[in-house]
Chain A
Amino acid sequence: MSLAVALGEGGGPPPAASRPTRTRGHRPLLLPGLAYLALFFVAPVAVLLATSLYVPVPGGDVGQYQPALHGQNYVDALAKFWPQLVRSFGFALMATLAALAIGYPMAYAIAVRARGRRLLQGLLLVLVVAPFFTSFILRTIAWKQILADDSFVVAALHWLHLLPPGGRLTATPFAVVCGLTYNFLPFMVLPIYASLERLDPRMLEAGADLYASPFTTFRTVTLPLSMPGVVGGTLLTFIPASGDYVNSSLLGNNTNTSMIGQVIDARFFKVLDYPTAAALSVVLMVAILVLVGSYVRRSGTEELL
């Protein structure tokens, strides 16, 4: 929750420039955090970058590589796995949009409709977070059951003729996007909730007073004021969803649903093709940074970065 709240903070005024600089004495307190970051983020990324340029040891065994500056690794990896990369972003985008469509009304109901009823709000928030009490893998396996060929969902869809005879849900892109949407929905709901919670109901009255119908008030007042939450939520959904490999391997698991995370996983642990795996990881990281950067810039909520 604290993460959601922190991310939702984008709408606030920028920090005062004249903040007193009393930080000198507190600097040692930063050391554990800095050490942690250096050890578990900076160092691994450096190793990853180096690995992505390695070449196989001539005449060596499988999985034996030696340091080099072989940039061709990137070209080869992209040439081979660009469909999975594109698909990852496509699935992540679809899941993000679906989560937004489902999550915004949820957040609105909790923050605005249930305003003033603390007990109800608390209960609804617990329900949003409750899935986290069980493991990510278990929940995804449960979805596998729900979407299985002999499940009541599929039976009902057949009965309604929404699914053609012989049609199935598991092992389809639909199932993967469903899983991604479900798994990252709370990350969408919480930041939007935090934004809407702070929305002053008098703003809505001012909108109504100035001839805006309820829908227009939503479009011109509520939505813009909750944009920090929407941007935060979409980032928290899109970024992990595009790198996810659990949903695609458990709910998809055939050639037309595999995502880049799955490829990286396979390259690292099955094929032992470390340079390709590392190169794809770097590409994924850079691509996300570029996408997110331009998105945040366009949405006018730079404070989030």
Chain B
Amino acid sequence: MTTTVPARHTTTPAPAGAALEVAGVTKRFGAFVAVDDLTLTVPSGSFFALLGPSGCGKTTTLRMVAGLEQPTVGSISIGGRDVTGARAHQRPVNTVFQSYALFPHLTVAENVGFGLRRRRVADVAARVAEGLDLVELGHLADRRPALLSGGQQQRVALARALVNRPALLLLDEPLGALDLKLRRQMQLELKRIQTEVGLTFVHVTHDQEEAMTMADTVAVMNKGQIEQMGAPAELYEHPRTAFVANFLGRSNLVPGTVVERLDGDLLGVDVGGVRVRVPAARAVRAEGAVLVGARPEKMRLLAEGEEPAATENAVGPGTVVDVSFTGVSTQYEVRVPGLGTFGVFAQNLSGRAGAAPGDQVRLAWAVDFTFGLDGRDDAAEGVADLDLEP
């Protein structure tokens, strides 16, 4: 799969992808505000993901960049050129549509060559062959799209956009219709192609795993606004809102109140009568109501009689209400009276069974992995199982 960096690339040099700037863009549909004063910059050559639940405005944002919708307010520039008023066919942008939108009356090769023909590029046939090579579909060039599988259609759609070497490649949930295994494969494939061709990719998805796997930078969108933007690890380890903490992976969030400031820049927080410590640098606010958070894989069950280390927070005892063994890890649900239910992912290191349902256990996790959010956030926001969405 990595043998397709042909010398042909050098004969027609691919322009480095261009940067995208969205400045103060608002889009209203009647009274509904789909995108609310959105500002973001995508650096040239990066793989950028817009992540959010359906209806959060991510697709509308993408369509405005493509020129398929016009912003109500604000401006959009690509590679330093203001394209706000330009129509879709005048923009140096190509889209891989969610439904692929392949032309059913044209062959695969004609589909891929469509954009090149419109721009009257000289060596259409060679470029089409090159594009089909890139997605390894050269042998299907003369087929009609209807005769291809979903994964193949997806790759044709990708090739059809890529051959134009757009300044910006937009991907609108391009893997949404594929089954899980194929989706994983295509994620790696897309990442490889992006590295290979060096274009700027803007990828819209509601799948947080997909966004984290592929993108250099992820912007989490909710209700028409960007909640938080950063590298995947940064977002995961340092969520700034309850929505991000819950939407990106899973978080245990417990409401509490900051009661003191301790040495070593720690905040002492009272959660249901228990004192836990939060690094001030990892807290959104240093006083009043906060949500204390920790990722399930950062937590561990304390063995009978075991005391937490000095560098750990601890809560409990609580009752184990559910145990699910996944092979790599065991996931426990522990209900702690007064605090709620905690998820704990224990890596399967020993091969021995841990706690059983009904057991009383205490939970501990490193102070360093604790984060503090604004207590006015809804602790359940972003929790819904959005992976089940279409």
Contact = CB atoms under 8 A, between A and B. Distances in A.
A, B from the same assembly? yes
Interface of A: 11, 13, 200, 202-203, 205-214, 216-217, 220-221, 224-225, 227
A208 B101 contact: no
A210 B105 contact: no
A208 B87 contact: yes
Nearest to A206: B101
Nearest to A227: B105
Contact of B115 (A13, A211, A221, A224): A211
Given A202-B97, A202-B99, A216-B118, A209 B105 contact: no
Given A203-B101, A224-B105, A210 B66 contact: no
A25 B66 CA distance: 56
Contacts of B119: 211
B93 interface: yes
A205 B101 contact: yes
A214 B89 CA distance: 9
Contacts of A202: 97, 99, 101
Contacts of B164: 210-211
Contact of A205 (B88, B105, B146): B88
A224 to B, nearest CB: 5
A213 B160 CA distance: 17
Given A13-B146, A211-B115, A212-B89, A206 B67 contact: no
Nearest to A216: B118
Given A208-B67, A211-B118, A203 B103 contact: yes
5 contacts: A200-B101, A206-B97, A210-B164, A211-B118, A212-B118
Contacts of A205: 68, 88, 95, 97, 101
Interface of B: 66-68, 87-89, 93-95, 97, 99, 101-105, 114-115, 118-119, 146, 160-161, 164
A111 B137 CA distance: 35
B88 A208 contact: yes
A249 B94 CA distance: 58
A225 to B, nearest CB: 6
Nearest to A223: B105
B118 A210 contact: yes
Q: Which of B68, B101, B146 is packed against the most chain A CB atoms within 10 Å?
A: B101
Contacts of A217: 89
Contacts of A221: 103
Given A13-B146, A216-B118, A209 B103 contact: no
Contacts of A225: 103-105
Contacts of A216: 89, 118
A209 B118 contact: no
A279 B66 CA distance: 63
B107 to A, nearest CB: 13
Contacts of B89: 207-214, 216-217
Q: What 5 pairs between A and B have smallest CB-CB spacing?
A: A210-B115, A208-B88, A206-B101, A211-B118, A202-B101
Contacts of B104: 11, 225
Contacts of A207: 89, 114
B86 to A, nearest CB: 11
A210 B68 contact: no
A200 B98 CA distance: 13
Nearest to B102: A206
